[in-house]
Structure 1
Amino acid sequence: MKFSDMPYQRIDFDTTKKQFEEIIREFANASSGEEQFEIHKKYYQISNEVETMITIAQIRHDIDTKDEFYDKEQAYYDEITPILSNLKVKYKKQMYESPYKSYLENKIGQVAFKNIEISLKAYDEKLIPLMQEENTLITSYDKLIASASIDWDGETLNLSLIKKYLTNQDREVRQKAYDKFCEFFEENADELDDIYDKLVKNRTRQARELGYDNYLQLGYYRMNRNCYDIKMVESFRNQIKKYFVPFAESLHNRRKERLGITKLSYIDEGVYFLNGNPTPIGTPDEIMEQGQKMYSELSDETKEFFDFMTENQLFDVLGRKTKKAGGYMTYLPLYHAPFIFANFNGTSGDIDVITHECGHAFQGYISGKDPIKEHADITMETAEIHSMSMEFFTEPWMKQFFAERTDDYLSMHLEAAAAFIPYGCMVDEFQHIVYGNPDMTPKERHYAWNQLEKVYRPHMDYSGSAFFEKGGFWQKQLHIYDYPLYYIDYCIAQTCAFQYKVWMDENFEEAWKSYIKLCNLSASDFFTNMVKEVGLDSPFENRCIEEIVNKLKNRM
């Protein structure tokens, strides 16, 4: 069904609550594992209905943040979603404590029960008011970012649409664009600090209500980290500091020489060539048509997937003034349909949408066919392998999008992917500092960010920007506000995607088979097991990062 034709009906809380209470009662009275599993299928049906309606409302709200109807719907779900989550936890608690647990575990897997165990540590009914407040704060940040109205030579742009000028080949244009970009953040500095301060304190209160010292352990549970912990992540970041930061700095130095400048200012950060970054050819419609051709040639599975997405209008990728910033893939379980939301802006990022986000969507399309719903509950580091690896697997088709500048794009993409890892780890360490010290003032948080810049990105020069010089760069990173502790997943996944890059350069067919296997495994096993099963090294293992760096050096 086309997305525009999908009916929307607000979830009636009282009705849904009664449905959950009924299956909880049925489950408790069941006399066998077989009977409980049949009841569990009813749980799937209710959950799918609820999740689909909430997701439709979210997408339509994000498409136009000024839409009054869906603005009210989003506010409604900000309020009731924590209560619905609590009902789900009550149901899952019965599963976890079932006398027929072994039968159920055989049906839906050990990972699912480990995730239930984690969820019981992460939620409690008493947290509902705080979770509602947290949702409202997140929405307020998203709406503030979406409200940016930047005058550009008589044209009104938002933060997504001005990005193409931030990487213009003319340094004067870039400077002008950054001045306007930063002006928005400077004008809203107090509100940005206030929202984040309230979020940190809110999340800390939630954690302490559950008996944790701070939000970090609760945050790991909410990120569903079921096979690695804080110490393992810290060790991973230390490996990045030791091996990847020097490597990334060498790439920045090479780029600096290519641009003919003596230092990399913030206005040069996203620029890779003196004649400007490669940009995609063709209109958005033509780009999507080329995307369909690319996926039809990549494999039978990707052809089926992309045709389904196109026929059912499951893309909304054009940038618009009142559209939420950023991009994502989400899923509509009633229709077994992924949906891709993005903001095309005329940069190479438009192509990343049909590689990165389609990597997510392709895996979602595959896992949606699995009758065991829990197998789709992938952890984020696994999800990002699907997306980041697809960026590399589609490289043979980049000529369709970049023509004579294809080699420039491929070089830029590899450099940018490598340079990203130190930044992503910096975002993660910043959040560990913030949530480990929740009483920090906004000024102290900005100072902490500045100190981390010296460790992870020593090449950066923010001279001339009051906003960046004070340590405000992180406030444009919506993950820090909306999805706490998420960002390290990108870094872990990128190291796996690099392994696929090396592998596909040697044997594309074997690497692709491994990738398809990983997509099919979904969440049927733990991340650390699955990467080994498909022939990759775990990023947490000793020497893994060092070996990746050495292999990348040979390709640059």
Structure 2
Amino acid sequence: MRFSDMLYQRVDFEKLKKDFYGLYDAFSNARSGAEQFEVHQKYYELTDHAMTEMTIAEIRHDINMSDEFYGAEQDYYDANRPMFQNLIVRYQKMLYESEFRPYLEKKIGPVAFKNIELATKSIDEKILPLMQEENALQTRYNKLLATAKIDWEGDTLNLSLMTPHMRDPNRQTRIKAWNKFSSFFTDNQEELDDIYDKLVKNRTTQAEKLGYKNYLTLGYYRMNRNCYGRSDIQQFRKQVKHDLVPYAEKLHEKRRARLGLDTLRYYDEDVYFKSGNPSPTGTPEEILAAGRKMYNELSPETGKFMNFMCDNELFDVIGRKTKKTGGYMTYLPDYKSPFVFANFNGSSGDADVITHECGHAFQGWIVADDPIREHADITMETAETHSMSMEFFTEPWMNLLFGNRAKDYVDMHFEDSILFIPYGTMVDEFQDICYENPALSPKDRNAVWRDLEKQYKPHLNYAGNKYYEEGGFWQNKHHIYDSPLYYIDYCIAGTDALQYKVWMDQDYKSAWESYLKLCRLSASDFFTNLIKDVGLINPFEDGCMRYVVKKLDK
């Protein structure tokens, strides 16, 4: 069904609550594992429908954040989603403690039961008011950024629409654009500090009420880290600092020389060529058409997927002034439909939507008929492996998107994939420190960020920008406010994607077969097992990063 034809009806949470209580009774009264599994299938229907309605409302709100109707719906779900989550956790706890668990575990899989264990540790009725407050704070942050109005050359632009100017080949234009961009954050620094300070304290209080020392334990549970922990991520960070940062710095130096600059400054960070970064050719409609041709040529599976997406209006990618910034892929269970949201702005990021977000969407589409819904509950490092690897698998078709600058894009994408990992790992360590030390003042947090920049990006030069010199750059990163502890998943996945890059350069067909297998496995097994099963090295394993760098450096 086309997205525009999908009818929306507000979820009645009182009715939903009654339906869940009926579900609890039916599950308790079931006399066998088979009967309980029949109840469980009704649970799928109940939760899928509620999630579909909430997701439709969220998408339509994000498409136009000035829309009063869907703004009110978003506020309604911010207030009621914690109650919905609590109803789910209560049901899952019954599933977890069932006397017929061996039968159910055989049907649903051990990963689902481990995830239930983590879910029961991450929510309780006593923290629902705090979760509601957390949702409202996140919405406040997003509204603040979405309503940014930046005066540019007689026009009024939002933050997303400033991106092309911040990457302009003319350095003076970039400086002007970056000054305008950072001025928005400088002007709103006090509010941004207040929102984050309240988020840290709110999340810390949630954790303490559940009996944890700080939010890190609770945050890892909420991220469904079901087969690795904080020590594994600490080991990964060490590999990044020791093995990848020196290689990344070599690439920064190579880029500085290519640009003919004496020093790389912060406003040069996103520029790769003197003539400017390659940009997709054509209108948004033509870019989507090029993506359709690309996926139809890549494989039969990707062709069917992209035709389905285009025919059913499952992309909203045109940047508009009242649209939420950023991009994502989400899923509408009732319609078995992924949905891709983005803000095309004329930069190479437009192509990334067709590769990265479609990597997510393709995986969701290819397992849409899996009768076990828990298999869709993939952890984020696995999900990002699907998307970031697709960026590399689609490289042979970049001429469709970039014309005679296809090679420039491929080279830029390769360098950017390397250079991102130190930054993303730094974002994670910053959050780790903030939640381990929730009493830090805003000034202290900025000092932490600036110190980490010197470890992960030693070349970075903020001369002339006091706000960034004092450590304020982190405030434009949505994940730090919206999705705590998520960002490291991109880095873990990026390491997997680089392994696929090495592999496909040697044998594209076998690398693609491995990738397709990974997509189809979904969440039927734990991440560390999935990676091994498809022939990749576990990123937490000492020596993994060293191996990747050695192969890529050649």
Partner of 2:37: 37
The 1-side partners of 2:5 and 2:284 are apart by 23
How is 1:351-500 mapped onto 2 (pairs within 5 angstroms)? 351-500=351-500
Moved more, 475-484 or 405-414: 405-414
How is 1:13-32 mapped onto 2 (pairs within 5 angstroms)? 13-32=13-32
Q: Deviations over 1:257-301 (max 9, x none)?
A: 111111110110000011111111111111111100000000010
Partner of 2:10: 10
Partner of 1:321: 321
The 1-side partners of 2:369 and 2:457 are apart by 43
Amino acid across the alignment from 2:344 = F
Offset, 1:212:
0.5
Q: For structure 1, which runs of at least 5 residues remain unmatched after alignment?
A: none
Amino acid across the alignment from 2:337 = A
**Could you say what the CA RMSD is over the residues aligned between the two structures, in angstroms?**
0.5
Amino acid across the alignment from 2:201 = K
Partner of 2:206: 206
Give the match's secondary structure for 1:161: helix
Q: Deviations over 1:311-348 (max 9, x none)?
A: 10000000000000000000000000000000000011
The 2-side partners of 1:402 and 1:146 are apart by 29
Does residue 224 of the first structure (1) align with residue 224 of the second (2)?
A: yes
Offset, 1:224:
0.3
Give the match's secondary structure for 2:389: helix
Amino acid across the alignment from 1:524 = S
The 1-side partners of 2:467 and 2:374 are apart by 44
The 2-side partners of 1:324 and 1:466 are apart by 28
Does residue 166 of the first structure (1) align with residue 166 of the second (2)?
A: yes
Q: Deviations over 1:469-497 (max 9, x none)?
A: 11111100000000000000000000000
Partner of 2:81: 81
Q: Deviations over 1:20-49 (max 9, x none)?
A: 110011101110000000000000000011
Runs of 4+ with >4 A deviation: none
Offset, 1:452:
0.2
Amino acid across the alignment from 2:145 = I
The 2-side partners of 1:69 and 1:219 are apart by 32
Offset, 1:501:
0.6
Amino acid across the alignment from 2:321 = K
Offset, 1:367:
2.1
Give the match's secondary structure for 2:121: helix
Does residue 259 of the first structure (1) align with residue 264 of the second (2)?
A: no
The 2-side partners of 1:475 and 1:218 are apart by 23
Does residue 335 of the first structure (1) align with residue 360 of the second (2)?
A: no
Partner of 1:284: 284
The 1-side partners of 2:368 and 2:428 are apart by 30
Partner of 1:125: 125
Partner of 1:520: 520
Q: Deviations over 1:399-441 (max 9, x none)?
A: 1111111111111000000000000000000000000000000
Amino acid across the alignment from 2:113 = F
Offset, 1:524:
0.2
The 1-side partners of 2:510 and 2:180 are apart by 48
Moved more, 440-449 or 147-156: 147-156
How is 1:140-219 mapped onto 2 (pairs within 5 angstroms)? 140-219=140-219
Partner of 2:246: 246
The 1-side partners of 2:20 and 2:367 are apart by 25
The 2-side partners of 1:222 and 1:61 are apart by 25
Offset, 1:510:
0.5
Partner of 1:137: 137
The 2-side partners of 1:50 and 1:537 are apart by 38
The 2-side partners of 1:467 and 1:380 are apart by 32
The 2-side partners of 1:463 and 1:66 are apart by 37
The 1-side partners of 2:388 and 2:334 are apart by 27
Give the match's secondary structure for 1:10: coil
Does residue 105 of the first structure (1) align with residue 105 of the second (2)?
A: yes
Amino acid across the alignment from 2:280 = P
The 1-side partners of 2:368 and 2:472 are apart by 40
Q: For structure 2, which runs of at least 5 residues remain unmatched after alignment?
A: none
The 2-side partners of 1:63 and 1:469 are apart by 34
Amino acid across the alignment from 2:58 = Q
The 2-side partners of 1:369 and 1:473 are apart by 43
Does residue 49 of the first structure (1) align with residue 49 of the second (2)?
A: yes
Aligned-residue sequence identity (percent) comes to 61
The 1-side partners of 2:366 and 2:467 are apart by 44
The 2-side partners of 1:493 and 1:486 are apart by 12
Partner of 1:293: 293
The 2-side partners of 1:14 and 1:211 are apart by 30
The 2-side partners of 1:372 and 1:241 are apart by 40
